[in-house]
Structure 1
Amino acid sequence: MSESLLLEHLDDGVLTLTLNRPDRLNALNPPLLRALREGMERAARNYEARVVVVAGAGRAFCAGGDISGKPDKKPEESLGEAAPSEKKRAPDNVATRIEWLRGNMEAVKILYQMDKPTIAMIRGATVSVGMSLAAACDFRVVSETASFTTGFAKVGFSGDYGASYFLTRLLGSAKARELMLLSDKLDAQAAERIGLVTQLVPDSELEVSTYALARRLADGPPLTYRFMKKNLNAAVEGSLEQILDMEATHMVLSSMTSDQREAVKAFMEKRKPQFSGT
């Protein structure tokens, strides 16, 4: 394929990962599923990237999984991870299908647990896996043209990529059940009312608004954000005692950074701090 299925662009600390199948509304086929997992792994390890923006090329964010019936590869090529030079591939059975899907689903775990702020920049259709990716991000900047649906039930699937986990924690159990079981389509305004949207903006302002937020976060203290995200993620399921212990540890660690000293100095001098990530 001449053009990458996942575009990666780093600009002054802001890394943008763009799903790049605009002709299919960025629906995820097997090669893009793998590319997404690998791209998330690279993003998590990229110390130059202070913020990660997830976007879709063209007029949609992500139309879910590609169920068009026209896979890019034969089933055995999609399911097996063996190199083309090897004579034997993994057999196509229930066990290998589960293993293959679970391996690619690591992409959304990495996105959620990433120790840097993440933003979903959303326009157009956001369906099934697209909902999971959006809900796994810290922020969602949404165009007024966006629409949302879980979509799984309509095609007889139970849901994947953490849809049940992220939607329940973001919106509550009752609303997550409604979205998953009924698969109703929400416009951008309805999505904002239920708490799915961080910022709702005109389509013409989507990029400007997204990167203004990204720039604000990229100018912040990276180590502090790392500790803060660990606290927040642990708070989803941890006990109060566990969270208090973690907050105490991270509070002391953050107080020992150069960035914390710079923040106090800048506050006293009434200027904008310059964080180094140390």
Structure 2
Amino acid sequence: MEIDTGTTELLCEVRDGVALITLNRPEARNAMSDKLTPALRSQIRERGEDPDVGAILITGAGTAFCSGGDVKGMGGRGPRGQMTFEERLSDLRWRQAALTGALVAVRKPTVAALPGAAAGAGLAIALACDIRIAARSAFVSTGYAKVGLSGDYGIAWLLTRAVGSARARELMFTAERVDAERCERIGLVNRIVADDKLRDEAFEFAKSLANGPRVALRNMKDNLDDALHIDYATALHREAERLVQASRTEDHKEAVRAFVEKRKPAFVGR
């Protein structure tokens, strides 16, 4: 089912329980824009709440994932350059919360498929997803140091949790280009696939998650998020509550039946 995003710069379809969201400015390496970015914020929110969607897959058209912000609009040349400091600060905080903040908050599995460059805020969007799958020719860069900026969209927080503090500092300070193989070695991406297989393999992966036990997967995300900032005793307490909740679902009962009957479970998402 095709979804009307309000602009051709962002495409969305829901198929087999997967919301496939495609950044569609290939001529600009899918850089964020005043049309693409609001549409992306809306789709993250709407597909995150859509009961027909079990997983979200974000990718880019052409040979890039997302090259980040539009550099031509930086340095006070864009409309935001006319804002006061407080207006600009409030605007950026809202935009961050509504994009990567909302993506991190989605309680469904999220996957980023990188056909090529993911840089700056584009890398932050990829890092805000649970899983990253890269084409062999893909690469990433924090990018901010090259344009004299310190980072936004939560990139320092997200990058530190992906690769650790020392590596995150290196990547932020140098803004170096990191190829797919190194990304996999240091934990920036989960797996690499052939360029011409990326879309199909990423979709099949997202589909397998969408067709999984949705309550259990949501609870897993809660447990994994908690693990970053709570003590072990509290983690045990919360895990127990969520497991008991999952044990009462139809999906758990179906999984037990399927195990006994030696067949693949047919989950229904509740």
Instruction: Provide the C-alpha distance between the structure 2 equivalents of 1:27 and 1:176, rounded to a whole number of angstroms.
Output: 23
* Aligned-residue offset at 1:229: 0.5
**Are the aligned partners of 2:6 and 2:39 in contact in 1 as well (CA < 8 Å)?**
no
Instruction: Provide the C-alpha distance between the structure 2 equivalents of 1:2 and 1:229, rounded to a whole number of angstroms.
Output: 31
| Partner residue in 1 for 2:226 | 234
| Partner residue in 1 for 2:86 | 95
Q: Supply the RMSD in Å over aligned alpha carbons.
A: 2.0
**Are the aligned partners of 1:37 and 1:105 in contact in 2 as well (CA < 8 Å)?**
no
Greater CA deviation, 254-263 or 33-42? 33-42
* Equivalent residues in 2 for 1:44-63, closer than 5 Å: 44-63=48-67
Instruction: Provide the C-alpha distance between the structure 2 equivalents of 1:174 and 1:5, rounded to a whole number of angstroms.
Output: 36
Identity of aligned residues (%): 41
Instruction: Provide the C-alpha distance between the structure 1 equivalents of 2:128 and 2:141, rounded to a whole number of angstroms.
Output: 15
For each residue in 1:104-162, what CA deviation from the matched residue of structure 2 results, as whole angstroms up to 9, or x when unmatched?
11211221121111110101111011111111111111001101100001101110111
Unaligned runs of 5+ in 2: none
Are 1:35 and 2:39 matched, yes or no? yes
| Partner residue in 2 for 1:256 | 248
Give the match's secondary structure for 1:192. Answer: helix
* Aligned-residue offset at 1:70: 8.9
Are 1:194 and 2:198 matched, yes or no? no
Unaligned runs of 5+ in 1: 80-90
Q: 1:246 aligns with which of 211, 220, 238?
A: 238
Are 1:223 and 2:215 matched, yes or no? yes
Greater CA deviation, 96-105 or 169-178? 96-105
| Partner residue in 2 for 1:112 | 104
Q: 1:179 aligns with which of 171, 174, 178?
A: 171
How many residues are aligned here?
Answer: 264
The normalised TM-score by structure 1 is 0.90
Residues 165, 234 of structure 1: alpha-carbon distance in 2 compared, 3 angstrom cutoff? same
Q: 1:155 aligns with which of 147, 153, 158?
A: 147
For each residue in 1:212-270, what CA deviation from the matched residue of structure 2 results, as whole angstroms up to 9, or x when unmatched?
21121122101110111011011111121221111011011001111110110011001
For each residue in 1:79-107, what CA deviation from the matched residue of structure 2 results, as whole angstroms up to 9, or x when unmatched?
9xxxxxxxxxxx82111111111111121
The normalised TM-score by structure 2 is 0.93
Instruction: Provide the C-alpha distance between the structure 2 equivalents of 1:100 and 1:8, rounded to a whole number of angstroms.
Output: 26
* Aligned-residue offset at 1:33: 2.5
2:41 aligned partner, one-letter code: R
